Structure 1
Amino acid sequence: MKRIAILLGATALAACSTGGDKPKAPEAPLHGRMLVLDTHLDTPLHFDRQGWNFADRHTLATDLSQLDIPRMKDGNLDGGFFAIYTDQGPLTAAGYAAALAHARKRSDSIDRMIAANNGAIGAARIADDARRLDREGKLIAFKSIENSYPLGEDLSLLSEFYDKGVRLAGPVHGLNNQFADSATDKPRWNGLSPLGEKWLAEMNRLGIVIDASHSSDATFDQLLALSKYPILLSHSSLRSAHNHPRNLDEGRLKALAAKGGAMCISTIYMSEMKMSPARAKLFADYERIGELAPEAQAELTRQWRELDKTETMWAADFEDYMKMVLRAIEVGGVDHVCFGADWDGGGGLKGIEDISALPKVTERLKQAGYSDADIEKMWSGNILRVLAAQGK
C-alpha cells in the first residue's frame, strides 16, 4: 500500500535531517506503491460463519477462504467490491421475497464486517472515497450485487440498495431471470427483457455501474448499446483463452473499450470446470458455509482439500492466466483492462491460489514492458474512472 512507501520515505527523511550516516531506506516494491482493487470479492459468504473472523489470518490448508485482512496486506490488495450474491431461484413472488431477504442479510453482513474492523477498513461510495481511505492507510470496501434477481419486479429496490452503498450490479447470474438472458442458459428474451431495459435505465439514473459478467452475448450487446455510461465486466475471462459462453470474445472486448468500459480479468473458465458429483456436493455445502458449525466447516475444508489431491477444479495455471491477461491488454488496451479474479467464488489457480500472489501479476506486467502508470490504471485507475463517469 502507498502508506508503506510513505512511512519508509519519512524514515529516510528523518535520518537525513539529523545528519546521521544511516543508509536511505529502500523504496517499497512497485506493487506495494500502487492502489490495488479487485471488482469481485465473494468473501461476504464467510462473514457470518461461526468462529470465523475477517481480521484473522487463515490458511488454504485449513480454511476455504482466499481473502482476509492479513492476506490483503500480504498481497497489497487495498480493497474492492464485496459481492451481495444470490443464487437464482423461481421467478415467483415467494422466490423474490426469499431472495430479497437473503440479499438484505448479506448487505448487512458486509456492514457489520466494516464496523467490526473500522480501524482497518472503510466503506466507499465514490472513487474519491477509495483514494481517501488509501491515504488514511485503510482498506476499501465497495458493495456490488451479483444477480439482480432479489429485486423481483420492484425496481424501487435499486434505490434501497444504492442507499446501502451498492455501486456495481449485474442483471443476471447462471440462469435467465426476469431481467435478462444468462450466458449459461438457453435464450428466453434474446438479451434484456422489457423489465431489464427499465432496470438499465434505473441503474443509469442512480449512478450504479452496470456489470455485464454472466450476461449472454445478446444481453452484453444491449447493455453496451443502451447504457449512457461505461460498463464493467467484474469477473470475466477471454473466450480466445477457452471457448466457453461465460467468457467474452475479443470483438466484444474491442466494442467495450470503444465505449469506455473495462473488463476485469478473472481466473475462472480458462478450462472446463471439473464439477464431478463429489465437487458439486461440496460446492453446495460451501454456499451455506455460514450456517455450518465450526466442526462442519472444518470437515468441509478437509474433504475439499482431499478431493483437490486427485481432482483439480481447473486445468489452467498462473502461466495460462498471464498469457490471457497479456492478450486482453493487447486487444482492449491498458485503459480497458482491470482485475476481478472471483476470489472466494470459485477463482484461483495453481500459482495464484489466493490474494497473496497478486504481486506476481504486477511483476509480470512490468517484465512485459508496461509502465508503472499503466499497471496502476489496470489495478485501480480504470475501475475508478468508470465509477466516476456514472453521471452522479
Structure 2
Amino acid sequence: MADLQDELQSLAEPGDLLDTAQTAPLAPQPPPGSPQERARALLADHPVVDGHSGLPWALRDLAWYDLQLGDSGVDTDVLRLREGRVGALLWSLRLPERIEAERAVGATLEQLDLVRSVVAAHPEGLRLARSAGQVIDARNCGRVAVVLGPAGAAALDDSLGILRVLHTLGLRVLTLAGASWAGEAGLTRFGEEVLREMNRLGVLADVSGASDATIARALALSRTPVLCTRSAARSLRAHPDNLSDALLAELGAAKGLCLVPSSPERSGPGVQDVADHLDHVRAIAGPESVGLSGHAPGAGAAPGYPHLIAELLRRGWPETDVTLLTWGNMQRVLRSADFAARAARERRKPSAARISELDPTDA
C-alpha cells in the first residue's frame, strides 16, 4: 500500500486526513467534471474496500510502530489509507509456506492477537468490524474498518472446533487452500463439511490460490458468495492465482466476488494493466462480481485507487458500476453472509464431524 499516496496529492483534502497537522499543501484542484474530480466525489461516498492487506505479518517483528503518524518500518498507515480513499480493509492472516504445519494454529492466533492490539492502539483511525453494519458504522465515524481474514486453511489443524474459536475471535474469511481436504482434486467430504460450517458461522470462503476443482466445488456448494481475494484474469496474465474465463463466468453466475489485486505479479505494474483486468473481469463475471484488492507491504508498486478510478471513468465505466466496485459489492457479500448464517444456525447445529471419520485415508 506504500504507493497509494503516489500521484494523489491533487486529490487530497484536509478534511479527509485524520491528522491534519501532517496534511501536505494541496495541489491545484482538478477541473470540474474531469475524471479526477468525479473519482474524488465518488470515493468520498463510496470508499474502497481493499480485499487483501498483509500488514499483520509485516508488523510482527517491529519493535515500534505508529500507524497514526506513519513513522514506522512499514508502508501502510492511516494517513496513506485516507489519501488512497480506503474505507475498509481485509487484514490477511495468511502464513508463509515455510511455517511448519504444527505452528500454523499458534501463528494465526498470534496474528489475531496482534491485529486486535493494533486496532485498540489506534482508535482514532481504525475500528474492528465483524459485520456489514459495523463496516458502515466505522465509515460513518470516520474510521477505517478492519475485517479479519483471510486466514489459511492450515490454521484449522483439521478441526471444526478451532474454526469456531477463530470465528469467535473475529475471523470472517478463510482461504480454502493449503490443507489435505482442499487439494488439486477439489474438496473432500471433510472439506465440504468445513465449508458448510463456515456458512453456518458466517465465515466467507476465499478461493484465491485454490485449485480449479476446489473453486468449482466451492461455488456449487456454498450458500453464501465466494471470494477471490487476490485473483485477476488468467487470460491476461498467467499467474496461478488468477482465474480462467470459465471460472470467472461461474463466479459471476454464483454472485461471487473477484477482488482484482494491484500487484505486478498478478495484474501488471501500472494503472493501465490493473484497469485492463478490471475491464475483463467485469465483462465476463459482471459488474456485481468485481472488486479491488491490495498487496502485501513491500510487494511492489500498486496504483493509487483515486488514480485507478479516474482511469475507469475515462474508459466509460458508469458511476453505478464504479460504486459497486469500490464499496457496494463487498457490502453485498458481507450482508449475504450475515443473513445466511442467521438462517443456518436456526436449522443446523454445530458440526461434530472429524476428518478421521469423513476422510480416513487423510487423517
Please state which band the TM-score falls in when normalised by the shorter chain.
0.7 to 0.9
Question: What residue identity is the alignment partner of 2:213?
Answer: A
User: What CA deviation, in whole Å up to 9, does each residue of 1:280-311 have, x standing for no partner?
Assistant: xxxxxxxxxxxxxxxxxxxxxxxxxxxxxxxx
What is the rounded CA distance, in whole Å, between the counterparts of 1:315 and 1:260 in structure 2?
26
Aligned mates of 1:252, 1:258 — CA distance in 2 = 10
Q: Out of 75, 84, 87, which is 1:66 matched to?
A: 75
Instruction: Give the superposition deviation at 1:328.
Output: 1.4
* Matching residue within 323, 326, 331 for 1:376: 323
CA distance in 1, matches of 2:78, 2:272: 27
The residue identity in structure 2 corresponding to 1:252 is L
Q: What residue in structure 2 maps to residue 362 of structure 1? A: 309
State the alpha-carbon separation in 1 of the partners of residues 136 and 268 from structure 2: 37
Q: CA 1:315–1:252 in structure 2 vs 1: closer, same or farther (change >3 Å)?
A: closer
Contact 1:39–1:80, Cα closer than 8 Å, also in 2: yes
Counterpart of 2:90 in structure 1 is 81
Question: Which residue in the other structure is 1:265 paired with?
Answer: 260
Following superposition, the deviation at residue 210 of structure 1 comes to 0.7
In the alignment, what sits opposite 2:64?
A: 51
1:146 is paired with a residue of what secondary structure? strand
Q: Distance in 1 between matches of 2:165 and 2:14?
A: 34
Q: Percent identity?
A: 23
1:345-377 deviations in whole A, cap 9, x for unaligned?
Answer: 73534xx2xxxx110111112112223332111
Structure 2 Cα separation of the partners of residues 358 and 86 of structure 1? 26
In the TM superposition, what is the alpha-carbon distance from 1:103 to its structure 2 partner? Answer: 0.4
Corresponding position: 1:160 with 2:128: no
Structure 1 residue 330 and structure 2 residue 335: aligned? Answer: no
Q: CA deviation at 1:193?
A: 2.7
Contact 2:54 2:295 in 1 (8 A): yes
For 2:191, the equivalent position in structure 1 comes to 196
TM-score (norm. length: structure 1): 0.72
**Worse-superposed segment, 320-329 or 46-55:** 46-55
CA distance in structure 2 between the partners assigned to 1:139 and 1:105 by the alignment: 22
The residue identity in structure 2 corresponding to 1:55 is Q
TM-score by length of 2: 0.78
Change (3 A) 1:56 1:104: same
Q: Partner amino acid for 1:29?
A: A
What is the CA-CA distance between 1:100 and the residue it aligns to? 0.8
Contact 2:48 2:292 in 1 (8 A): no
Secondary structure at the counterpart of residue 172 of structure 2: strand
What do the CA deviations read for 1:205-264 (whole angstroms, capped 9, x no partner)?
A: 111111111111111011111111211101111101112332101111111111111100
Larger of the two Rg values belongs to structure? 1
Matches within 5 A, 1:190-269: 190-268=185-263
1:303 maps to what in 2?
A: none
Residue 89 of structure 1: how far off its partner (Å): 5.9
Mapped to 2, the partners of 1:216 and 1:345 lie a distance apart of 26
Asked if 1:318 corresponds to 2:271, the answer is yes
Change (3 A) 1:146 1:171: same
Where in structure 2 are there 5+ consecutive unaligned residues? 1-11, 17-36, 342-363
In structure 2, what is the equivalent of residue 129 of structure 1? Answer: 134
Contact (CA 8 Å) 1:168, 1:208: kept in 2 or not? yes
Asked if the contact 1:37/1:380 (under 8 Å) is kept, the reply is yes
Count the aligned residue pairs: 306
CA RMSD of aligned residues (A): 2.5
CA pair 123-130 structure 1, distance change in 2 beyond 3 A: same
Structure 2 vs 1, CA of residues 151 and 89 (structure 1 numbering), >3 Å: closer, same or farther? farther
Q: Whole-Å Cα distance in 2 between the matches of residues 142 and 169 of structure 1? A: 12
Distance in 2 between residues matched to 1:239 and 1:204, nearest whole Å: 28
Residue in structure 2 matching 1:114, options 110, 114, 119 = 119
| CA deviation string 1:134-155 (max 9, x = no partner) | 1111110110133110211211
User: Could you list the runs of 5+ residues in structure 1 that have no partner in the other structure?
Assistant: 6-25, 182-186, 272-313
The question of whether the paired residues in 2 share the 8 Å contact of 1:237 and 1:267 is answered with no
Secondary structure in structure 2 of the residue aligned to 1:203:
helix
How far 1:315 sits from its partner (Å)? 6.3
Task: Please say which of residues 243-252 and 231-240 is displaced more in the overlay.
Answer: 243-252
Alpha-carbon deviation of 1:170?
Answer: 0.7
Letter in 1 for 2:221: L
Distance 1:158 1:345, change over 3 A: farther
Residue 324 of structure 1: CA displacement?
1.5
1:386 aligns with 2:333: yes
Question: Secondary structure, in 3 states, of the residue corresponding to 1:80?
Answer: strand
The aligned residue for residue 339 of structure 1 is: 292
2:64 alignment partner AA: G
Deviation at 1:167, TM superposition (A): 1.0
- SS of 1:131's partner is helix
| Residue in structure 1 matched with residue 52 of structure 2 by the alignment | 40
Q: Give the corresponding residue for 2:344.
A: none
Q: CA separation of 1:78/1:2 partners in 2, compared to 1, >3 Å: closer, same or farther?
A: farther
Q: Does the 8 Å contact 1:237/1:268 carry over to 2?
A: no
Farther off after superposition, 340-349 or 231-240 = 340-349
Q: Does 1:151 align with 2:156?
A: yes
